[in-house]
Structure 1
Amino acid sequence: MGLLVILESVLSLFIMILVGVYASKKKIITTKMNKGLTNILIQIALPFMILSSFIYTYDNTIRSNVVKTFYYSIITYIVIIIVSYLLLLPIKRDKKTILHFANVFMNTGYVGFPILNSIYGAEGIVYGSIFNMFFVILLWTYGLVLFKGSFDKKELKKELKKILLNPSIIAVCIGAIIMIFNIQLSGGLLSSIEAIGNITGPLSMIIIGVILSNVKIKKYLIDWTIYYGVTTKLIIIPAIIYLISLSVGEPSKAINTVIIMSAMPASAMTSILAESFDKEKEYAAVIVSVTTLLSLVTVTVLLKIII
Structure 2
Amino acid sequence: MSLSVTFESVISLFIIILVGVYGSKRKIITAEMNKLLVNILIQIALPFMILSSFIYTYDETIKSNVIKTFYYSIAAYIIMIAVSYLILLPIKKDKKTILHFSNVFVNTGYIGFPILNSVYGPEGIIYGSIFNLFFVILLWTYGLILFKGNFQTGELKMELKKILLNPSIIAVCLGIIIMIFKITLPRPILSSVQSIGNITGPLSMIIIGVILSNVSMKKYLKDWTLYYGITVKLIVIPVIMYLISLWVGDSSKAINTVIIMSAMPASAMTSILAEHFDKEKEYAAVVVSVTTLLSLITVTYLLKIILN
- Give TM-score, length-normalised by structure 1: 0.99
Residues 93-108 of structure 1 aligned to structure 2 (within 5 Å): 93-108=93-108
What residue is the counterpart of 1:30 in the other structure? Answer: 30
How many residues matched?
A: 307
Per the TM alignment, residue 5 of structure 1 is displaced from its structure 2 partner at its CA by 1.6
What residue is the counterpart of 1:297 in the other structure? Answer: 297
What residue is the counterpart of 1:121 in the other structure? Answer: 121
What residue is the counterpart of 2:283 in the other structure? Answer: 283
Contact 1:2 1:304 in 2 (8 A): no
Per the TM alignment, residue 250 of structure 1 is displaced from its structure 2 partner at its CA by 3.2
Equivalent residue of 1:57, what SS? coil
Per the TM alignment, residue 219 of structure 1 is displaced from its structure 2 partner at its CA by 1.0
Per the TM alignment, residue 100 of structure 1 is displaced from its structure 2 partner at its CA by 0.1
What residue is the counterpart of 1:42 in the other structure? Answer: 42
Per the TM alignment, residue 176 of structure 1 is displaced from its structure 2 partner at its CA by 0.3
Q: Distance in 1 between matches of 2:194 and 2:247?
A: 37
What residue is the counterpart of 2:10 in the other structure? Answer: 10
What residue is the counterpart of 2:143 in the other structure? Answer: 143
2:263 aligned partner, one-letter code: A
Per the TM alignment, residue 223 of structure 1 is displaced from its structure 2 partner at its CA by 0.4
Gaps of at least 5 residues in structure 1 are none
1:238 aligned partner, one-letter code: P
What residue is the counterpart of 2:247 in the other structure? Answer: 247
2:184 aligned partner, one-letter code: Q
Which segment is superposed worse, 265-274 or 152-161? 152-161
Per the TM alignment, residue 228 of structure 1 is displaced from its structure 2 partner at its CA by 0.3
What residue is the counterpart of 1:209 in the other structure? Answer: 209
What residue is the counterpart of 2:153 in the other structure? Answer: 153
Q: Distance in 1 between matches of 2:200 and 2:113?
A: 8
What residue is the counterpart of 2:269 in the other structure? Answer: 269
Contact 1:136 1:163 in 2 (8 A): yes
Q: Distance in 1 between matches of 2:179 and 2:249?
A: 27
- Aligned: 1:53 with 2:53: yes
1:179 aligned partner, one-letter code: M
- Aligned: 1:228 with 2:224: no
**Between the two proteins, what is the percent identity of the paired residues?**
79
- Aligned: 1:180 with 2:180: yes
2:164 aligned partner, one-letter code: L
Q: Distance in 2 between matches of 1:287 and 1:66?
A: 32
1:10 aligned partner, one-letter code: V
Q: Distance in 2 between matches of 1:257 and 1:6?
A: 14
Per the TM alignment, residue 2 of structure 1 is displaced from its structure 2 partner at its CA by 3.3
Residue deviations 1:8-29 (CA, integer Å, cap 9, x gap): 0110010010000000000000
Q: Distance in 1 between matches of 2:204 and 2:140?
A: 21
Per the TM alignment, residue 153 of structure 1 is displaced from its structure 2 partner at its CA by 2.6
Equivalent residue of 2:278, what SS? coil
Q: Distance in 1 between matches of 2:4 and 2:127?
A: 24
Per the TM alignment, residue 248 of structure 1 is displaced from its structure 2 partner at its CA by 2.1
Q: Distance in 1 between matches of 2:9 and 2:30?
A: 27
Q: Distance in 1 between matches of 2:289 and 2:235?
A: 16
Q: Distance in 2 between matches of 1:250 and 1:36?
A: 41
Gaps of at least 5 residues in structure 2 are none
Root mean square deviation, CA, Å? 0.6
Per the TM alignment, residue 6 of structure 1 is displaced from its structure 2 partner at its CA by 1.9
What residue is the counterpart of 1:238 in the other structure? Answer: 238
Q: Distance in 2 between matches of 1:46 and 1:68?
A: 23
Q: Distance in 1 between matches of 2:192 and 2:6?
A: 29
Residue deviations 1:4-61 (CA, integer Å, cap 9, x gap): 2221011001001000000000000000000000000000000000000000011111
Q: Distance in 1 between matches of 2:3 and 2:42?
A: 31
Q: Distance in 1 between matches of 2:153 and 2:79?
A: 28
Q: Distance in 2 between matches of 1:176 and 1:106?
A: 23
Q: Distance in 2 between matches of 1:23 and 1:172?
A: 33
What residue is the counterpart of 1:219 in the other structure? Answer: 219
Q: Distance in 2 between matches of 1:158 and 1:240?
A: 35
- Give TM-score, length-normalised by structure 2: 0.99
What residue is the counterpart of 1:63 in the other structure? Answer: 63
Residue deviations 1:157-176 (CA, integer Å, cap 9, x gap): 11000000000000000000
